[in-house]
Chain A
């Protein structure tokens, strides 16, 4: 096999920095040694090291603060798409504090899209709730959920800034969403989304939409989520059948 130059010095430098973070036990928000120290330690030139660090900043492993150095990023929240836990539960499991800011919670009539997703007649009353989800107080995603109210009349009485939609459906109404299909793509924040998430307009985000059904295959809800990849990582596991 040929072409020994195909592993660039930048690749190698990136690997060195990445394994150093693990080896030295650096914690989130800990500072990396100075560029000069790292160059000396691994016998790298400044440009190579800077390129490697830039790459790790781009991939969210590190962040820079002007004038004070390079730091280890806090881990992203990993959301396993297969488990049907609610957001709050997943955040708590990661040892962090979930939060929600209500944008609106209204009863409305099903339009054509909702009719298709929830398989209810046009004009059926549905519960539409839009929230900004936070982790340790930092806005991470905008979640809009439309709930089929067939089995959960009165759900709009709950305060979804404080309560988990998932828990209310399950505990109060015995409704459990157990399966679903979703689609993932890339989007950019519009002005409203940018304001809700405290980011700039045009910033890239993950767009996820889908629906959830109960054990009988009856649609429970449909949703769309705009999530910041800086804070949330989606995961899935594939198994041999």
Chain B
């Protein structure tokens, strides 16, 4: 950017500093950039200047401001996501139900024997494990256990999944889901998950197991989702 030099307005200079750090990956997608206070201290400029610089990038869609949480780097969007694909479509019985998601756990762990086998990686490779509770109008609908190999999304640790969805994060890392294989079983819930879903231990729920693959046919996500059958049903369209 030859148009910016030391005589340019400070906020424009700072905007380019932040832009460069985003482009070079110092501020990776999905992560929060330093706070206004930190930036103002770092560069010895006042907070209003920082705000102007940041707002400009928010306006460009490079950053996303979440009230009370901070300012986050937005990565590339994926054009297709599986929500628009054919497959099971969940219908929540209640009309106009407001969906909600709560992250119950997010850990980096070793793949271990089972997940090494599932993902085709080595036992010592890291994977992320995420447990989420999905609700409608505040009522629990499903508990989701998701496993993602760290080779595909190395920085998932630092990303706040209440700010970005997993699919958004995949897009940031150039991983795009192109195929998913899903199965349905019935299963009786053990106490921990039953408590989460607000049903009796041993109650029967639908278990969806989903394998999601990218264009290289690598498994990028393995999810088990325990879904209350009294709250929703599923439809699927078939054609040969």
Q: Which residues of A contact B (CB under 8 A)?
A: 1-4, 6-7, 12, 15-16, 18-19, 22-23, 54-55, 58-60, 76, 78, 81-84, 178-186, 204-206, 229, 233-241
Contact between B85 and A241, CB atoms less than 8 A apart: yes
Q: Which residues does chain B contribute within 8 Å of A16, judged by CB atoms?
A: 112-114
B contact residues, total (Cβ < 8 Å)? 49
Nearest CB of chain B from residue A49's CB, rounded to whole Å: 15
A3 to B112, CA, bound (A): 18
Contact between A12 and B112, CB atoms less than 8 A apart: yes
Contact between A59 and B131, CB atoms less than 8 A apart: no
Q: Select which of A58, A182, A237, A240 is within 8 A of B187 by beta carbon.
A: A58
Is B19 in contact with chain A by the CB < 8 A criterion? Answer: no
| Stretch from B33-41, B57-65, B69-77, B177-185 that touches the partner | B177-185
Known: A186-B204, A241-B80. A6 touches B131 (CB 8 A): yes
**In B226-240, which residues have CB < 8 Å from any A CB?**
229-230, 233-240
A16 to B116, CA, bound (A): 12
Highest count of chain A CB atoms <10 Å: which of B109, B115, B177, B186: B186
B90-119 CB mask vs A (1 if < 8 Å, else 0) is: 000000000000000111110011110100
Contact between B114 and A6, CB atoms less than 8 A apart: no
Contact between A235 and B105, CB atoms less than 8 A apart: no
Contact between A236 and B204, CB atoms less than 8 A apart: no
A12 to B114, CA, bound (A): 9
Is B190 in contact with chain A by the CB < 8 A criterion? Answer: yes
Known: A185-B234, A239-B86. A1 touches B157 (CB 8 A): yes
Contact between A182 and B238, CB atoms less than 8 A apart: yes
Task: Identify whether the interface residues of B are mostly helix, strand, loop, or mixed.
Answer: strand
Nearest CB of chain B from residue A181's CB, rounded to whole Å: 5
Of all chain A residues, the one with the shortest Cβ separation from B205 is A186
Nearest CB of chain B from residue A47's CB, rounded to whole Å: 14
Contact between B113 and A19, CB atoms less than 8 A apart: yes
Of all chain A residues, the one with the shortest Cβ separation from B79 is A240
Q: Select which of A1, A78, A236 is within 8 A of B87 by beta carbon.
A: A236
Is B11 in contact with chain A by the CB < 8 A criterion? Answer: no
Q: Count the A-B residue pairs with Cβ separation under 8 angstroms: how many?
A: 138
Contact between A82 and B207, CB atoms less than 8 A apart: no
A205 to B184, CA, bound (A): 12
Contact between B114 and A19, CB atoms less than 8 A apart: yes
Nearest CB of chain A from residue B59's CB, rounded to whole Å: 31
Nearest CB of chain B from residue A142's CB, rounded to whole Å: 16
Q: Select which of A22, A78, A184, A234 is within 8 A of B117 by beta carbon.
A: A22
Is B53 in contact with chain A by the CB < 8 A criterion? Answer: no
5 interchain residue pairs of minimum CB distance: A186-B229, A238-B87, A229-B186, A19-B113, A185-B233
A181 to B91, CA, bound (A): 14
Known: A7-B129, A59-B185. A178 touches B240 (CB 8 A): yes
A178 to B178, CA, bound (A): 24
Q: Which residues does chain A contribute within 8 Å of B112, judged by CB atoms?
A: 12, 15-16, 19
Of all chain A residues, the one with the shortest Cβ separation from B82 is A238
Of all chain B residues, the one with the shortest Cβ separation from A185 is B233
A7 to B205, CA, bound (A): 22
Q: Which residues does chain B contribute within 8 Å of A76, judged by CB atoms?
A: 185
A203 to B234, CA, bound (A): 20
